[in-house]
Amino acid sequence: MGNIVQTLFEEATLWIPRVGVAVIIFVVFFVLAKIIKKIITNTAERRNFDRNLTSLLARTSRITLIIFGIVTALGTLGVNVSALVTGIGLTGFAIGFALKDTISNLLSGVLILVYRPFEIGNR
C-alpha cells in the first residue's frame, strides 16, 4: 500500500507543474483573445466600420486565438499535437470544400459591407 501511495505522489509531482503551466498558457491566450477583440472593436468604431463586419472579425480572431491556446496547452502537457493539428487542417479543408458556395456568399457579403456600394434608399 505504501508503494502505491509513493508512486502516486511521484506522478503527482511530475504532472502538477505541467498542468499548472498548461493552465497558465491557456489563460494567457484567453486574455490575449479578449484584448485583441477589444482592439478590433475599438479600431472599427473609430474607423466607422459596419458593426456586423466588426463582430465577425472580432469573433473569428477570438476563436482562433483560443484554439491556438488549447493546442499549445495540450502540447505543454505532452500530448502529440501534430495529429491534432493535421486533423484540424483536414477538417477545415473538407468543410471549406463542402461549403464553398456558402463561404463564397459569406465573403461576398463581407465585401459589400466593406465597400458599401449601396446606400439606404437605393433601388
Q: How many CA atoms lie within 13 A of 50 on its CB side?
A: 13
Taking the C-alpha atoms of residue 15 and residue 27, their distance in angstroms, rounded to an integer, is 18
Taking the C-alpha atoms of residue 45 and residue 51, their distance in angstroms, rounded to an integer, is 8
Q: Which of 1.10.3720.10, 1.10.10.10, 3.90.79.10, 1.10.287.1260 would CATH assign to domain 2-115?
A: 1.10.287.1260
Model pLDDT, residue 37 = 94
On the question of pLDDT at 78 being above 90, the answer is no
On whether the CB atoms of residues 80 and 67 are closer than 8 A, the answer is no
Residue 123 DSSP symbol: -
Model pLDDT, residue 96 = 84
Confidence band, pLDDT 50/70/90 cuts, at residue 69: very high
Write down the pTM of the prediction: 0.73
Q: Where are the domains of the chain?
A: 2-115
Helices (H), 1-123: 2-46, 51-77, 81-98, 100-115
Taking the C-alpha atoms of residue 92 and residue 81, their distance in angstroms, rounded to an integer, is 16
CB atoms closer than 10 angstroms to residue 75? 16
Taking the C-alpha atoms of residue 95 and residue 101, their distance in angstroms, rounded to an integer, is 11
Taking all residues of the chain, what is their mean pLDDT, rounded to a whole number?
A: 88
pLDDT exceeding 90 applies to what percent of the chain?
Answer: 36
Residue range 10-65, pLDDT digits in tens:
877 888 888 899 999 999 999 999 999 999 999 999 988 888 888 988 999 999 99
Which residue, chain included where needed, has cell 505504501? 2
